[in-house]
């Protein structure tokens, strides 16, 4: 048969009607978003940049870090922008004394217990709010552990972990549904762990690296990046990022090839592309060595 | 199917469907990111039925696993069809308006009672009835499959048996309902779309259609042969007869991937001329008279590939090719020049625009749109067209959009060609593992911490009977060949069934075992059903050979 579809078969998916508009005020500016949008969306729509840490576009908000809090008139407590839904008539303040004070202390607490020098966004916000982690006395509450290097794919540096839950979410309900890791312990003993702290190959881990991709502090880090950093030759400013399509199965996952000195040094996926939403499998994320004859 | 060579549905649809029937596919391992979309569907409340001889990692997420015997898919599908009709769950209005041949179909499936199907397939009748009820009474339902359906001697009949179920229930041509073959290679869809089929021109124009040929001849300024060519399996038969003496092989490794590979290698080696164009010196390339080193299509070249949801997407050069490697387009152009045809130096976009001028499916996909819109799904007939998330909406139009109704097909159960015997009493089926790919030429360098290598996976019952322990080296013998490999005990396998991957041909030459009996219509060999016997050699010493794990999660199914 030579018949082809003329395109008349095209139909829209259901449930794509435009949402109801919601009007609110951010820092004195009126702004309109659609029903279902968050306070964070409203801030963005108002042109206000909001610091986030545990939030990501491709994950469900878990309200772990409280960095994004804003002040809502009529609300006793500050509200997390990332998860609170925008409501008609809300009056929000993102730069009040309470908000600045809260964000500063969150950054100080995190900085006093974790190494944040590979989290450029946090360094920028710390400077912005004048955060001084040292004022809580000498650092000493970091895990102070050796970096865990168990294989050639990724490393775990617990000293950098801020317990934001992103890796747990990506491994679990939000993407991979593998559930290899979760939080264990309490207080200063809290940490991300496999079951009974077994090694990764002994755990349910399938090495998709989706936890690494969402980590905001480089506590989880691609081994290629780790090795280059150790050698003092990791130069993000000299890297190009090229979008292409994975060479393995027929799903058509979009890849971002990070290239330095004509060599691929890292592979990620754009979280704004609806095939992957930023997630990949072990082959797509790690299986590119053959391009360079490895 | 129904005149278009592509899956009907978008990934986004499975997130919103009600019933998912995963048939002969271990998508959890073979299509992991598609499985993310599928999991969203399950999280949104969809029910899933997995039909696979093995209890795969995908089936762990299912509401029910129907563990049928290898090669009994048609008996199961026909029984589902009979059960739907017997309970009056079929969509009479849809059948009357949009299909033909229902009465023949109904008569043909009548003998496939639940009892008879249970006897053939090994699946309990209640489970078949439950699948029929769930599928037929769902508002939206999809059937998805991969090589568990197509790597059989009656592959086309298997697919038609599934198409019948969609026609019976109207689960086709609507958002969320469809028939979805998941593609195993990153551009196997695009290759077919571009005419890399022996009977098709780009855009699925028929090569025997003189009018279609004339359109291409006008642009190409050369005659197009009016007869269909040979597909891979027929090529090997032609080599066997001595009719085919020169082969130009681009990006394929048949010296490792063909069923009954010993014979395939001999035929390739005996050719008068073998040219191989590849990014690796594969085992096929080692047999070649001439090797053209090519650049890596997705990282060293610009172009397009097309995915399982018919989405055309751009690939882009990010790094320069090594040494003398060149873009495929350059190599082919240079070869043409040496044969006295100067095709100039067309860019990938030039070639794409020529394709658009000839293929109405792709006409609206300008290079700029492909860049800006993150890919487009065919058909996309003009530049204002948004692309098509799903196919065959015409089946729901009152006049069928002026087309012929879709025919039911009468298909009968026919088990694997190679029956089990006293000499070869075990069934061998093959498939993929999560962290490896085909003959391993790409994935071999990936240092995967979860890789166990090619093992022969056996059921607990067979292992106990044969005295096989985990990690023990065994000899596996089929009527065609014999290999040694380590054993792994998989509680997800029923008695009598064994499984292996085929990712390490340098270590274990699995395709010495597989059967090259093939479907005359699709050209696909019956990789899924060989007969073998297993003999223990010696218990593995610690640290020797790949580790064997007693766990059902490591190895993957049908590609």
Please identify, among A92, A121, A140, the residue that sits at the C-terminal boundary of a domain. Answer: A140
Last residue of a domain, one of A140, A156, A183: A140
**Would the pLDDT of B465 be above 90?**
yes
Residues B177 and B41 in one domain: yes
Q: Which of A136, A248, A169, A290 is nearest to B29 (CA)?
A: A248
Stretch A225-243: mean pLDDT, rounded?
Answer: 97
Contacts for B191 with CB less than 8 Å, ≥ 6 apart: B197
Q: Is B276 in contact with B249 (CB distance < 8 Å)?
A: yes
Judged against a pLDDT cut of 70, whether residue B541 lies above it is answered with no
Instruction: Estimate to the nearest angstrom the gap between the alpha carbon of B531 and the chain centroid.
Output: 22
Residue B303 lies in a domain: yes
Examine the pLDDT at A133 and tell me if it is beyond 80: yes
Residue B69 and residue B192 share a domain: no
- What phi and psi, each to the nearest 5 degrees, are found at residue B237? -65, -40
Contact B432, B442 (CB under 8 A): no
> Using the beta-carbon criterion (under 8 Å), do A2 and B206 form an inter-chain contact?
yes
Neighbour-count burial for A229-257, b at 16+ CB within 10 Å, e otherwise: eeeeebeeeeeeebbbbbbbbbbbbbbbb
A15-24, B256-265, B312-321, B357-366: which range is least confident on average?
Answer: A15-24
ipTM metric: 0.91
**Number of domain units in chain B:** 3
A165 & A92 share domain: no
Q: Are residues A49 and A183 in the same domain?
A: no
Residue of B318, B360, B551 to mutate, testing the A interface (most A Cβ within 10 Å of its Cβ): B318
Contacts of A3 in chain B (CB under 8 A): 3-4, 403
pLDDT category at B1 given cuts 50, 70, 90 is low
**Do A70 and A184 have their domain in common?**
no
Measured at the CA of A38, the angle between CA A33 and CA A42, to 5 degrees, comes to 45
| Distance, CA of B301 to CA of B327 (rounded, Å) | 6
B300-308 mean pLDDT: 96
The arithmetic mean of pLDDT across residues B450-460, rounded, is: 90
Going by their DSSP bridges, the two strands B19-23 and B47-51 should be labelled as parallel
Residue B542's contacts (CB-CB under 8 Å, 6 or more residues apart) are none
What local confidence, expressed as pLDDT, does residue A228 receive? Answer: 98
| pLDDT at residue B45 in the model | 97
Tens of pLDDT, residue by residue over A58-108, are 999 999 999 999 999 999 999 999 999 999 999 999 999 999 999 999 999
| pLDDT at site A233 | 97
Q: Please compute the mean of the pLDDT values over residues B388-401 and round it to a whole number.
A: 93
Between chain A and chain B, the number of residue pairs with CB atoms below 8 A apart is: 235
Q: Give the C-alpha distances (Å, rounded to integers) separating B403 from B105, B156, B399.
A: 21, 23, 8
Could you tell me if residue A7 is inside a domain? no
Do A176 and A256 belong to one domain? yes
**Contact in structure between A172 and A156 (CB atoms under 8 Å):** no
Q: How many secondary structure helices (H) and strands (E) does chain B include?
A: 20, 21
Q: Is residue B419 part of a domain?
A: no
Mean pLDDT value across residues A29-36 = 95
Q: Which residue from B318, B394, B446 is facing A9, i.e. has the nearest CB?
A: B394
Contact call for residues B513 and B428 (beta carbons, < 8 A): yes
Of B264, B201, B204, B215, whose CA–CA distance to B439 is shortest? B264
Other Cβ atoms less than 10 A from the Cβ of B273: the count is: 11
Contact A9 B392 (CB under 8 A): yes
Structure tokens at B521: 């219509």
Percent with pLDDT over 70 in chain B: 96
Q: Span B467-481, mean pLDDT?
A: 93
Identify whether B99 is part of a domain: yes
pLDDT tens-digit readout, B62-75: 999 999 999 999 99
pLDDT at B439: 77
Asked if residue B396 belongs to a domain, the reply is: no
Question: Does one domain contain both A210 and A130?
Answer: no
The region of weakest confidence among A166-170, A197-201, A211-215, A279-283 is A197-201
A79 - beta bridge partners? A70
CATH of the domain at A226: 3.30.70.20
Please check whether residues B131 and B254 belong to one and the same domain: no
B502 and B528, same domain (yes or no): yes
pLDDT of residue B437: 83
Q: What is the mean pLDDT of residues B239-255?
A: 95
Shortest CA gap A118–chain B (Å)? 26
Could you say which DSSP state residue B111 is in? T
- Domain assignment of residue B162, given as a range: 11-181
CB pair distance less than 8 Å for A5 and B392: yes
Render the burial of B400-422: b for 16+ CB within 10 Å, e for the rest.
ebebebbbbbbbebebbbbebee
User: How confident is the model over B309-320, as a mean pLDDT?
Assistant: 97
Residue ending a domain, choose from B120, B149, B181: B181
Say whether pLDDT at A10 is over 50.
Answer: no
Asked if the structure places residue A103 within a domain, the reply is yes
Chain B: residue whose CA lies nearest to A270: B374
d(CA B409, CA A28): 67
Cα first-last separation, chain B: 20
Contact assignment for A2 to B449 by CB distance below 8 Å: no
Domain count, chain A: 2
**B72 φ, ψ to 5°?**
-115, 25
pLDDT in tens, A95-130: 999 999 999 999 999 998 889 999 988 989 999 999
Q: What secondary structure letter does DSSP report for B237?
A: H
Q: What is the DSSP string of A6-62?
A: -STT--PPSS-SPPPEEEEEETTEEEEEETT-BHHHHHHHTT-----SS--TTS---
Best of B184, B281, B446 to mutate (most A CBs within 10 Å, chain A): B446
- Average pLDDT of chain B is 91
What whole-number distance in Å separates Cα of residue B286 and Cα of residue B366? 40
Contact criterion met (CB < 8 Å) for A250 and B183: yes
Mutate to test the interface with A, among B15, B32, B304 (most CBs of A within 10 A): B32
Q: Is residue B513 within 8 Å of residue B478, measured between CB atoms?
A: yes
Does residue B148 surpass a pLDDT of 50?
yes
Tokens describing residue A192? 């991300």
Min Cα distance B323 → chain A (Å) is: 11
Tell me: do B256 and B118 sit in the same domain.
no
**Angle between the N-to-C axes of helices B73-86 and B114-121, in degrees from 0 to 180, rounded to the nearest 10:** 160
Q: B330 and B236, same structural domain?
A: yes
pLDDT at A178: 96
Q: For a pLDDT cut of 70, what percent of chain A falls above it?
A: 93
Q: Is A6 part of a structural domain of the chain?
A: no
User: Same domain for B231 and B373?
Assistant: yes
In the listed set B377, B404, B435, which residue is the last one of a domain according to the structure?
B377
Token representation of residue B148: 């568990």
Q: How far apart are CA B322 and CA A1, in angstroms?
A: 43
The answer to whether residue A12 sits within a structural domain is no
**pTM (2 d.p.):** 0.92
In-domain check, residue B421:
no
**pLDDT classification of B184: cutoffs 50, 70, 90:** confident
In this structure, the strands spanning A220-222 and A154-156 are antiparallel
Residue B529's domain is classified under what CATH number? Answer: 2.40.40.20
Evaluate if residue B370 carries a pLDDT over 90: yes
CATH number for the domain spanning B149: value is 3.40.228.10
**Shared domain check, A239 and A213:** yes
What is the tens place of the pLDDT at every residue in B478-513?
998 999 999 999 999 999 999 998 887 777 888 888
**C-alpha angle with apex A220: A263 to B447, nearest 5 degrees?**
55
Cα–Cα distance measured from residue A52 to residue A81, given in angstroms and rounded to the nearest whole number: 9
Q: Judge whether residue B356 has pLDDT over 90.
A: yes
Task: Report which of B239, B292, B246, B243 is spatially closest to residue B272, judged by C-alpha positions.
Answer: B246
Contact B88, B168 (CB under 8 A): no
- When pLDDT is cut at 50, 70 and 90, the band that residue B16 belongs to is very high
CA distance A179 to A169: 9
Does A63 share its domain with A191? Answer: no
Query: In the Cβ-directed half-sphere of B139, how many Cα atoms lie within 13 Å?
Result: 9
At B180, is the secondary structure helix, strand, or coil? strand
Domain that holds residue A171: 148-292
pLDDT above 90 (res B548): no
Q: Which CATH number belongs to the domain containing residue B235 in this structure? A: 3.40.50.740
Mean pLDDT of chain A: 91
A5 chain-B contacts, CB cut-off 8 A: 4, 361, 379, 388, 391-392, 394
- Do residue A159 and residue A211 come from a single domain? yes
B105's enclosing H/E stretch is: helix B102-109
Residues B58 and B130 occupy one common structural domain:
yes
Residue B236 is classified by DSSP as H
For residue B516, what pLDDT band results from cuts at 50, 70 and 90?
confident
What pLDDT is recorded for position B441?
Answer: 78
Query: Does B455 fall in a domain?
Result: yes
Q: What pLDDT digit, counting tens, does each position of A235-269 carry? A: 999 999 999 999 999 999 999 999 999 999 999 99
Domain contains A82: yes
Lowest mean pLDDT among A270-274, B35-39, B149-153: B149-153
């Amino acid at each position: 048969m030579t018949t082809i579809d003329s395109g008349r078969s095209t139909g829209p998916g259901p449930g794509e009607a435009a949402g109801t508009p919601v009007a609110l005020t951010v820092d004195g500016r009126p702004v309109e978003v659609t029903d279902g949008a968050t306070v964070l969306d409203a801030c963005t729509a108002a042109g206000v940049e909001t610091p986030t840490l545990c939030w990501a576009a491709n994950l469900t908000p878990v309200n772990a870090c409280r960095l994004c809090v804003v002040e809502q008139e009529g609300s006793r407590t500050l509200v997390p922008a990332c998860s609170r839904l925008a409501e008609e008539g809300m009056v929000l303040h993102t730069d009040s004394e309470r908000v600045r004070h809260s964000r500063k202390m969150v950054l100080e607490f995190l900085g006093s217990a974790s190494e944040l020098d590979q989290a450029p966004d946090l360094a920028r916000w710390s400077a912005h709010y004048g955060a001084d982690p040292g004022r809580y006395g000498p650092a000493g509450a970091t895990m102070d552990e050796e970096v865990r290097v168990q294989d050639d794919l990724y490393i775990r540096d617990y000293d950098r972990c801020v317990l934001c839950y992103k890796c747990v979410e990506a491994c679990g309900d939000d993407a991979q549904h593998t559930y290899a890791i979760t939080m264990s312990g309490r207080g200063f003993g809290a940490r991300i762990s496999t079951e009974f702290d077994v090694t990764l190959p002994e755990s349910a881990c399938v090495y998709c690296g989706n936890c690494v991709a969402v980590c905001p502090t480089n506590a989880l880090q691609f081994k290629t990046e780790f090795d280059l950093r150790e050698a003092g030759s990791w130069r993000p400013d000299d890297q190009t990022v090229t979008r292409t399509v994975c060479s393995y199965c027929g799903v058509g996952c979009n890849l971002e090839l990070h290239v330095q000195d004509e060599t691929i040094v890292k592979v990620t996926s754009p979280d704004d592309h609806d095939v992957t939403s930023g997630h990949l499998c072990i082959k797509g994320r790690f299986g590119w060595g053959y391009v360079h004859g490895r | 199917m129904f005149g278009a060579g592509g899956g009907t549905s978008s990934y986004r649809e499975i997130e919103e469907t009600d019933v998912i029937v995963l048939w002969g596919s271990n998508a959890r391992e073979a299509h992991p990111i598609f499985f993310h979309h599928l999991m969203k569907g399950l999280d949104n409340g969809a029910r899933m039925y997995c039909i696979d001889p093995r209890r795969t990692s995908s089936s762990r997420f299912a509401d029910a696993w129907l563990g049928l015997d290898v090669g009994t898919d048609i008996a199961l599908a026909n029984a589902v069809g009979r059960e739907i009709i017997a309970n009056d769950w079929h969509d009479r209005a849809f059948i009357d308006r949009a299909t033909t041949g229902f009465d023949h179909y109904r008569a043909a499936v009548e003998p496939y009672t639940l009892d008879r199907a249970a006897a053939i397939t090994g699946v309990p009748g209640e489970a078949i009835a439950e699948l029929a009820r769930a599928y037929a009474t769902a508002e939206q339902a999809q059937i998805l499959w991969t090589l568990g359906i197509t790597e059989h001697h009656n592959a086309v009949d298997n697919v038609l048996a599934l198409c019948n179920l969609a026609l019976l229930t109207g689960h086709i041509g609507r958002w969320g309902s469809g028939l979805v073959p998941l593609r195993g290679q990153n551009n196997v869809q695009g290759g077919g779309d571009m005419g890399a089929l022996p009977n098709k021109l780009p855009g699925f124009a028929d090569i025997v259609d003189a009018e279609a040929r004339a359109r291409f001849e006008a642009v190409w300024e050369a005659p197009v042969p009016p007869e269909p060519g040979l597909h891979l399996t027929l090529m090997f038969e032609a080599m066997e007869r001595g009719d085919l003496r020169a082969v130009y092989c681009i990006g394929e490794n048949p010296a490792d991937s063909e069923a009954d590979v010993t014979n395939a290698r001999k035929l390739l080696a005996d050719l008068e001329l073998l040219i191989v164009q590849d990014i690796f010196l594969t085992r096929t390339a080692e047999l070649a008279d001439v090797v053209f080193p090519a650049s890596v299509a997705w990282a060293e070249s610009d172009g397009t590939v097309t995915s399982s949801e018919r989405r055309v997407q751009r690939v882009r050069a990010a790094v320069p090719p090594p040494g003398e490697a060149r873009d495929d387009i350059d190599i082919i152009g240079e070869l043409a020049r040496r044969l006295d045809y100067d095709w100039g130096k067309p860019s990938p976009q030039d070639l794409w625009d020529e394709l658009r001028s000839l293929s109405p499916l792709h006409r609206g996909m300008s290079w700029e749109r492909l860049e800006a819109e993150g890919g487009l799904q065919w058909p996309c007939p003009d530049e204002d067209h948004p692309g098509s998330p799903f196919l065959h909406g015409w089946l729901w139009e009152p006049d069928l959009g002026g087309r012929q109704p879709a025919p039911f097909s009468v298909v009968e159960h026919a088990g694997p060609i190679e029956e089990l015997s006293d000499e070869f009493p075990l069934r061998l089926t093959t498939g993929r593992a999560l962290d490896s790919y085909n003959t391993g030429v790409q994935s071999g360098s990936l240092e995967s911490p979860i890789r166990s290598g090619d093992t022969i996976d056996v059921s607990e019952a067979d292992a106990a009977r044969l005295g096989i322990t985990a990690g023990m080296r065994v000899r596996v013998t089929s009527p065609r060949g014999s290999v040694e490999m380590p054993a792994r005990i998989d509680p997800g396998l029923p008695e009598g069934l064994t499984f292996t991957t085929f990712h390490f041909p340098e270590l274990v030459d699995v395709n010495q075992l597989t059967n090259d009996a093939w479907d005359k219509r699709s050209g696909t060999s019956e990789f899924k059903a060989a007969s073998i016997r297993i003999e223990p050699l010696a218990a593995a010493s610690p640290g020797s050979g790949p580790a064997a794990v007693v766990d059902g999660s490591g190895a993957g199914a049908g590609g």
